[in-house]
Amino acid sequence: MIRTKGRACTGKRRHDTRDEAEEHRDRLLAKGAVRIAAYACRHRGCGGWHVGHLPKPRT
Ligand SMILES: [Zn+2]
């Protein structure tokens, strides 16, 4: 296993489809998480979906 530094998606749950990611998000929301969303990974070689915190809205 290769560990990469930085903001790579290592350590995060990876989902093949948006549906799976949203299901995961729903489970986290049910546990009390807030402001999280499913998003498509931009990391090369991943091509999956992850669940993470939303960026702060700029107002
Ligand atoms: Zn990823």
Query: How many separate domains does the chain show?
Result: 1
- Please report whether residue 45 resides in a domain: yes
Average pLDDT taken over every residue of the chain = 84
- Please report whether residue 7 resides in a domain: no
8 A C-beta contact, residue 50 and residue 13? yes
Q: How many helices (H) and strands (E) does the chain have?
A: 1, 2
pLDDT digits (tens, 9 = 90+) for 36-58: 999 999 888 888 999 988 777 67
10 Å Cβ neighbour count for 6? 5
**CA 14 to ligand 1 center in whole angstroms:** 6
How far apart (Å, rounded) are the C-alpha atoms in residues 48 and 10? 12
First CA to last CA distance, the chain: 42
For residue 40, give its domain range: 18-53
- Please report whether residue 48 resides in a domain: yes
Q: pLDDT class for 3, splitting at 50, 70, 90?
A: low
Q: pLDDT class for 13, splitting at 50, 70, 90?
A: confident
- Please report whether residue 22 resides in a domain: yes
What is residue 53's predicted lDDT score, i.e. its pLDDT?
A: 86
Residue ranges near ligand 1 (ion) with Cβ within 5 Å? 9, 41, 43, 46
**CA 37 to ligand 1 center in whole angstroms:** 14
